[in-house]
Amino acid sequence: MYGNAYIDPNEKANLILAEEDPQKLAEFEARIDRGEKIEPKDWMPKEYRKQLIRMIEQHAHSEIIGALPEGTWITRAPGFKRKLALMAKVQDEVGHAQLLYSAAETLGKSREAMINDLITGKSKYSNVFNYPAFTWADACVIAWLIDAGAIINQVANAKGSYGPYCRALDRICTEESFHLKYGHDNVVTLATGSSIQRDMVQGALIRWWPPIMHFFGPSDKISQHTEILMKWKVKMASNDDMRQQFLDMYVPKIWDLGLSIPDPLLKKNTATNKWEYTEPDWDEFKRVINGDGPCNAERLAVRRHAEEHGRWVREALNNVGSKYIVPLA
């Protein structure tokens, strides 16, 4: 599951573009306009490659980091049905990371280099995973609404221009649609269950609403430099459009369950046909994405631990064909 690529507002895409061969660039853009897919060995502008690597890599990192808050609840899931389903769901997420790292590798960056950039904090991952899943209900709300948001983003990006990423996304979206059903079923069970269960899920929704609103990225008003990415079909929908789509699809479902959303301004303006809401706290978003969220340090520490403790296994695998013989005493 994944939100939207975080674009550093200080990047100077247009300067880099000036170095490209204008004819090749024009042919490349014409192919994209015709709806053709760009494949790994095709010519592409440096900036296209760079932005795609950044985006697919962020997506892949989000899948493995996203396995952590939900993974915590595998060992606590109540009953066989939930335990089995949650294991399968989180396994899917790790599988998505595998697919995505492979897609990004077609652009020339190795999985190892990407994971190194993750654990050193150089590359980002979806901000939502820097928040804790306090209760079982948090894991259920994540599975429903965060995955719902991810589907909106990924269905859009699956129509993008880079072949390997689109194909990975097609498969990912199919699996995510099961996650969505799983999450929805969990939330319905809690919302229609005992008063303890209801309180649990309402509490989780209150905690998760701000990260969900952040999920699609900063408002178009403050998000810069996306024009060229939209033109190249790297980014397929604007942050605000996706947020609107999410609200349209899920707010009525949440309200149907009798749950309240912690935003007094949230309503659909029938004249504009758009949702109105309290502007999310984008300062907090930036603070968290730059490392100062409730779980940033913990998430990276867990990942670093896994990398360090698994190094000997990877080194042993690299020893293709060699066989260690225990020396005779």
Partner 1 sequence: MNQTSSEAIKELLYKMADDLLIIGHRNSEWTGLGPILEEDISFSSMAQDKIGQAQALYQLLNDLGEQEPDTVAFTRNANQFHNAQLVELPNGEYDFSLVRHFLYDHADQLRFEALANSSYEPLAKVARKVKGELKYHVFHANTWMVKLGSANEESHNRMQAAFNEAWNYALGMFEKSSFEDQLIAEGVFEGEETLQEKWLANITPYLIKAGIEIPASTSWNPVFGGRIGNHTANLSPLVEEMSEVFRFDPTAEW
Provide the binding-site residues for partner 1, judged by CB under 8 A: 64, 67-68, 71, 73-80, 82-84, 87-88, 90-91, 94-95, 97-98, 101, 136, 189, 193-194, 196-197, 302, 305-306, 309-317, 319, 322-326
Closer to partner 1 by CB, 32 or 115: give it: 115
Give the three-state DSSP class for 162. strand
* Least separation in angstroms between CB 129 and partner 1: 11
Q: By the 8 A CB rule, do 265 and 277 touch? A: yes
Closest distance to partner 1 from the beta carbon of 197 (Å): 6
The one-letter amino acid at 276? E
Give me the least distance between CB of 110 and partner 1, in Å please: 13
For residues 29 and 9, what is the distance between their CA atoms, to the nearest angstrom? Answer: 23
Nearer to partner 1, 74 or 251 (CB): 74
Q: How far is the CB of 19 from partner 1 (least distance, A)?
A: 36
Q: Which CB sits closer to partner 1, 32 or 64?
A: 64
SS3 302: helix
Cβ nearer to partner 1, comparing 15 with 317: 317
Query: Comparing C-alpha atoms, which of 182, 1, 5 is closest to residue 84?
Result: 182
Instruction: Round to whole Å and give the CA distance between 290 and 34.
Output: 38
Least Cβ distance, residue 288 to partner 1 (angstroms):
20
DSSP annotation of 257: T
Residue 196 Cβ vs partner 1, minimum distance, rounded to whole Å: 6
**Please, what is the minimum distance in Å from the beta carbon of residue 122 to partner 1?**
19
* CB crowding 117-143: b at 16 or more within 10 Å, else e: bbbeeebbbbbbbbbebebbbbbbbbb
- Give the burial class of 40: count Cβ atoms within 10 A of its Cβ; 0-12 exposed, 13-18 middle, 19 or more buried: middle
Beta carbon nearer to partner 1, 158 or 302: 302
Q: Which of 174, 189, 168, 172 is nearest to 66 (CA)?
A: 172
Give min distance, CB of 137 to partner 1, in A: 9
* Residue in the structure block whose two tokens are 């604007």: 238
Q: Which lies closer to partner 1 via its Cβ, residue 22 or residue 79?
A: 79
Q: Which is nearer to partner 1, 90 or 145 (CB)?
A: 90
Task: Select 274 or 311, whichever has its Cβ closest to partner 1.
Answer: 311
Task: Work out how close the CB of 85 gets to partner 1 at its nearest, in angstroms, rounded to a whole number.
Answer: 9
For residues 73 and 133, the answer to whether their CB atoms sit within 8 Å is: yes
Q: Which helix (H) or strand (E) holds 211?
A: helix 195-214
Q: Between residues 30 and 88, which has the closer beta carbon with respect to partner 1?
A: 88
Report d(CA 122, CA 114) in Å as an integer: 9
Burial class (CB within 10 angstroms; exposed 0-12, middle 13-18, buried 19+) of 21: exposed
Contact 129, 299 (CB under 8 A): yes
Neighbours of 247 (CB within 10 A): 20
